[in-house]
Structure 1
Amino acid sequence: MKSSITLFITVALSLTMSVFVCAKAATTTDKKLQQLKSDLVSLNKDIHLLKEQLLFPDSTRLSLYVSLAVNQNFSLHSVKVFVDDDEVIRKDFTDRQVNALEQGGIHRLYVGNVSAGEHTLTAFFTGVDEESRTYKRGITKTIMKKGIAKVIELKINNNKDPSQVEFDLIEL
């Protein structure tokens, strides 16, 4: 009887110890997995940056962004952009994207390559004004691309006349 109790206690203690060892091993494995995930995220970020630098080197990169002034009386629906009469992007905005722009967000429209020299950039904006009227407007600007990356913001601003909207192409 005494040996049965001793055997039972020994087995119970062995099982308890094995559970603690397994729990500690699981915790160590979880920490290693978390570190591996973190390393993979960092590596993915580095690969993405290298890929972008390879595909769009600074000497030819053109980046276009769109922003909307806060308290705007204009709801953006779409933007179409041409570089030297070639359409480079046509973007229809979702309600969620427009909401983000209205809260001060900036949306990257396009990243591409253009040669050095003079280029004509044309942007067409479509939306609805505060009275639900369709609003279409275009703007054209000549830009000079040099051997460095060119960044341009297509900015939709408030005008002095509250019923009008102003569109700008700003070189950053």
Structure 2
Amino acid sequence: MKALRIIPRIIITALHILTFVISSQAHSAATERDMEALKQRVIELNRELYKLQEEVLYPIDTQVVFFLAVDESVGFELDSVELTLDGDMATTYLYSARELQALQRGGVQRLFMGNLPAGAHKAVAVFNGRSAGEKYLRKAATLSFNKENGSKYLELRVQGDGVRTPRFLIRELR
């Protein structure tokens, strides 16, 4: 929680410095170099702030992360995914054509990152989309898993060969 108190101070200090430098009327080469150095420092502080925020919001002991992957020649056009954890909606995601192309070329999406206590849990993923024959499909995959201390990584995957109806899976990555 100490980190949460220091974050606003870092941001305010960086913004004050940046505002002061930008508002000065001197346009000498030295001032421009200083301003560039200051911009780089603000970028570095922003990266550090993001990492700190991730550590505070998603502690490693309770962290759970779901990834989504689609096999290349699956013959299925994914429209959306709905992820439910222990009966509560965790996330829904609607895919653009560009995102779908990236997934079909082997891309992997971090679909959800959150916290779960140690113990038994149930994940249900509902995949919505169109098959190769333009038939609309809505299929669910379910996985019961045990969360222990430490991060838990799981993968949602659309598998297929482009001929038959694709398979929809949830599996633990480690």
How many angstroms apart in 2 are the aligned matches of 1:131 and 1:28? Answer: 65
Mapping of 1:136-155 within 5 angstroms? 136-155=138-157
How many angstroms apart in 1 are the aligned matches of 2:171 and 2:151? Answer: 14
2:122–2:145 contact (8 Å) kept in structure 1: yes
2:143–2:171 contact (8 Å) kept in structure 1: no
What is residue 135 of structure 1 aligned with on the other side? 137
- Aligned to 1:71, the other structure's residue is in SS state coil
Alignment partner of 1:88 is 2:55:
no
How many angstroms apart in 1 are the aligned matches of 2:148 and 2:44? Answer: 32
Moved over 6 A (4+): none
- Measure how far apart 1:158 and its partner are: 1.7
What is residue 165 of structure 1 aligned with on the other side? 166
Mapping of 1:91-102 within 5 angstroms? 91-102=93-104
- Measure how far apart 1:38 and its partner are: 1.8
2:91–2:112 contact (8 Å) kept in structure 1: yes
**What are the ranges of 5 or more consecutive residues in structure 1 without an aligned counterpart?**
1-24
Task: Give per-residue Cα distances to partners, 1:90-124, cap 9 Å, x unaligned.
Answer: 11111121111112111111111111001011100
Alignment partner of 1:42 is 2:44:
yes
2:80–2:93 contact (8 Å) kept in structure 1: yes
- Aligned to 2:54, the other structure's residue is in SS state helix
Go from structure 1 to structure 2 and tell me whether the alpha carbon gap of 1:120 and 1:36 turns closer, same or farther (over 3 Å shift).
Answer: same
**What are the ranges of 5 or more consecutive residues in structure 2 without an aligned counterpart?**
1-26
- 1:165 alignment partner AA: P
TM-score where L is the length of structure 1: 0.80
- 2:160 alignment partner AA: N
How many angstroms apart in 1 are the aligned matches of 2:92 and 2:69? Answer: 16
50-59 vs 33-42, which moves further: 33-42
How many angstroms apart in 1 are the aligned matches of 2:74 and 2:48? Answer: 38
How many angstroms apart in 2 are the aligned matches of 1:168 and 1:67? Answer: 10
Go from structure 1 to structure 2 and tell me whether the alpha carbon gap of 1:27 and 1:103 turns closer, same or farther (over 3 Å shift).
Answer: farther
- Aligned to 1:99, the other structure's residue is in SS state helix
What is residue 12 of structure 1 aligned with on the other side? none
- 2:73 alignment partner AA: N
How many angstroms apart in 2 are the aligned matches of 1:130 and 1:26? Answer: 63
How many angstroms apart in 1 are the aligned matches of 2:148 and 2:93? Answer: 27
- 2:110 alignment partner AA: R
Mapping of 1:9-158 within 5 angstroms? 26-158=28-160
RMSD over aligned CA atoms reads 1.5
How many angstroms apart in 2 are the aligned matches of 1:164 and 1:99? Answer: 19
- Aligned to 1:126, the other structure's residue is in SS state strand
Percent identity of paired positions between Structure 1 and Structure 2: 27
- 1:69 alignment partner AA: D
How many angstroms apart in 1 are the aligned matches of 2:117 and 2:73? Answer: 38
